[in-house]
Amino acid sequence: MLEVIFLGTGGIMPTRERNVPAIALRYKGELILFDVGEGTMRQMNTAKLSPMRVEKIFITHFHGDHYLGLAALIQTMNLWDREKPLHIHGPKYTFEFVQNLLQSGFFRPGFDIHVHELGETRLRFGDYEIWSFKVEHGIPALGYVFKEKDRRGRFLPEKLAEYGLSEGPILGRLEREGQIEWNGRIIHLEDVTGPRRKGVKVAYTGDTEPTERVKLFAERADLLIHEATYLSPEHRGESYHSTVGEACEIAKKARVKLLALFHRAFRYTYEEYLSEASRLCREFGVRYIVPRDFDILEFKSGEFSVRNLLEERG
């Protein structure tokens, strides 16, 4: 099971209603962070997410609202006697900026921190991959894709019976080796399983103006988290950001299943932003969500469903 936990959904500066960008992705007990805006440690405490579970952090770019929570997070890990290494990934200059943070104040971490500067890179981690891709924000900036590996189809009881196979070690061997000899016949794994099941795909743009590279990397994603800072081009001005309409257009072209409109500017209330997003996304025929802090998107049976952590606790 995969969960996407929105720890901060706004952009530029925090407000009483929402924090700046931080997204936690929980997968098979692992916790991965994408961006660490100021106050992320507090948001994690509220969400009851332990920083000790985090082994990988992916920073989209080095504007303050996307990384200034990193020092507090590392210092908390150190305070709790962390021993496991931490891996921090980001665009060009990540090594320099992380070193500056670690040399700030009377503080040195007591655990290893490995910094990885990425271009357009494909990283493999067990059952999933993370791809980085370049976006357009006026400075070195990346988007990311989490892609679970495709899984084999389920064993089909009628096919097992046809080949005289039953549950037990023999099926484990067939799964490991891909084929076996049984009762004088060569049986391939695909002979007794259904169609392969596609792994879940989540794309996150970070900050960017509209670009075809997002469409390319988000193609057929189950979830696209696209920055949509402004409601109109007039409000955006010359900044390297996207509007709600532009995010909807990219989502439609990329044929994504669900669009999350992210990085809302502080000039809008949630209600007025949601109203305009509803109108625009309906025009494009896009399924969408405007996430709030502590919304959790849970992926089950091929679909994402949403719940809010704070509302569950009353």
The predicted-structure confidence for 261-298, as pLDDT tens digits, reads as follows: 999 999 999 999 999 999 999 999 999 999 999 999 99
Does position 239 have pLDDT exceeding 90, yes or no?
Answer: no
Q: Are 293 and 43 in contact (CB under 8 A)?
A: yes
Does position 208 have pLDDT exceeding 90, yes or no?
Answer: yes
Q: What pLDDT score does 217 carry?
A: 97
Pick the CATH number of 2-151+197-313 from 3.90.1570.10, 3.60.15.10, 1.10.760.10, 3.40.50.300: 3.60.15.10
Q: What pLDDT score does 156 carry?
A: 77
More confident residue, 184 or 209: 209
Does position 86 have pLDDT exceeding 70, yes or no?
Answer: yes
Q: What pLDDT score does 21 carry?
A: 97
Q: What pLDDT score does 136 carry?
A: 95
Q: Are 248 and 284 in contact (CB under 8 A)?
A: yes
Q: What pLDDT score does 155 carry?
A: 80
Does position 129 have pLDDT exceeding 90, yes or no?
Answer: yes
More confident residue, 191 or 32: 32
Q: Whole-number mean pLDDT of the chain?
A: 92
In a 10 Å sphere around its CB, with 0-12 CB exposed, 13-18 middle and 19+ buried, how is residue 188 labelled? exposed
Query: Which tokens is 129 given?
Result: 């991959």
Over its C-alpha atoms, the chain yields an Rg (Å, rounded) of 22
**pLDDT band for position 313 (cuts 50, 70, 90):** low
Residue stretches of the annotated binding site for Zn(2+): 61, 63, 65-66, 137, 207, 263
| Mean pLDDT, residues 10-15 | 92
The active-site residue, picked from 35, 65, 293, 295, is 65
Q: What pLDDT score does 103 carry?
A: 87
Please tell me the distance from the alpha carbon of residue 7 to that of residue 1, in angstroms, as a whole number: 19
Residue stretches of the annotated binding site: 61, 63, 65-66, 137, 207, 263
Q: What pLDDT score does 301 carry?
A: 78
**pLDDT band for position 168 (cuts 50, 70, 90):** confident
The predicted-structure confidence for 53-63, as pLDDT tens digits, reads as follows: 999 999 999 99
Q: Are 56 and 32 in contact (CB under 8 A)?
A: yes
Q: Does 65 participate in catalysis according to the annotation?
A: yes
Query: CB under 8 Å to 167, separation ≥6 — which residues?
Result: none
Q: What pLDDT score does 161 carry?
A: 82
Q: What pLDDT score does 198 carry?
A: 85
Does position 105 have pLDDT exceeding 90, yes or no?
Answer: no
**pLDDT band for position 314 (cuts 50, 70, 90):** low
User: Quick one: three-class SS letters along the chain?
Assistant: CEEEEEEECECCCCCCCCCCCEEEEEECCEEEEEEECCCHHHHHHHHCCCHHHEEEEECCCCCHHHHCCHHHHHHHHHHCCCCCCEEEEECCCHHHHHHHHHCCCCCCCCCCEEEEECCCCEEEECCEEEEEEECCCCCCCEEEEEEECCECCCECHHHHHHCCCCCCHHHHHHHHHCEEEECCEEEEHHHCECCCECCCEEEECCCCCCCHHHHHHCCCCCEEEEECCECCHHHHCCCCCCEHHHHHHHHHHHCCCCEEEECECCCCCHHHHHHHHHHHHHHHCCCEECCCCCEEEEEECCEEEEEEHHHHHC
Q: Whole-prediction pTM value?
A: 0.88
Query: CB under 8 Å to 29, separation ≥6 — which residues?
Result: 53
| Mean pLDDT, residues 219-223 | 96
Q: What pLDDT score does 307 carry?
A: 87
| Mean pLDDT, residues 110-132 | 95
The residue extents of the domains of the chain are 2-151+197-313, 157-191
